[in-house]
Structure 1
């Protein structure tokens, strides 16, 4: 059973993570890159091994309407 507390989400930018990954790809040990860039070691390892895709992630559900349809609806509602 959960304690009711929410786990904190990651508080880092994709650019900072990309810098950490680049350090590892250039030969730096994962543990050292983790300390230097202040990331969890497992986050870096997951990205390096492909368990999590290296791409810009979007929080929240996917959109239902295209931006054009959303604009049309907003204009119609005015």
Structure 2
């Protein structure tokens, strides 16, 4: 009995940039069939993009609850607090989003305008500069100890 490993399904075998370049070529130089063969992009995809049946930019899934600008501001806020030494807990991020949604009174799929674990997980995927880490509570005095002062202490004891 021979067991062969099945190749994983790959939805898009081309990049967004390649698709945009090919669409430009089709409008100027080559046919849809030729472009499909040459760049391994399905004819139906090229045709649908050119006729406007589907948008030029590829976006999967529903729209996000917050706008791109609001998400970027939230990301900057989280990162700036972390730089100041006050890392955010996931509940604090959810609380701030809940407050924003209550103030703006917009429709959203959340219970009591509070996002859940899944929203936070997807938010972190959209903003990879934010990472989750386990924090350790330390005193202010311990946090302010520099590497040089540790070296001075060890030289005095020897």
Instruction: Name the structure with the higher helix share.
Output: 2
1:48 maps to which residue?
Answer: 50
Deviation at 1:71, TM superposition (A): 3.4
TM-score normalized with structure 2 length? 0.38
Rg larger in 1 or in 2?
2
Checking the alignment, whether the CA contact within 8 Å between 2:13 and 2:40 is kept in structure 1 is: no
1:24 maps to which residue?
Answer: 26
CA 1:73–1:43 in structure 2 vs 1: closer, same or farther (change >3 Å)? same
Matches within 5 A, 1:1-78: 8-55=10-57, 57-59=58-60, 62=64, 64=66, 65-73=70-78, 75=81, 78=87
* Unaligned stretches of 5+ residues in structure 2: 1-8, 88-158
Give the distance between the partners of 1:58 and 1:30, measured in 2 at CA.
Answer: 22
2:102 maps to which residue?
Answer: none
TM-score normalized with structure 1 length? 0.67
CA 1:63–1:70 in structure 2 vs 1: closer, same or farther (change >3 Å)? farther
Q: Which structure is richer in relative contact order (CA contacts within 8 A, separation 6 or more)?
A: 1
* Unaligned stretches of 5+ residues in structure 1: 1-6
Give the distance between the partners of 1:20 and 1:38, measured in 2 at CA.
Answer: 10
CA distances 1:24-61 after superposition (whole Å, capped 9, x unpaired): 11142211110011100000000110111113x34455
Q: How many residues align?
A: 72
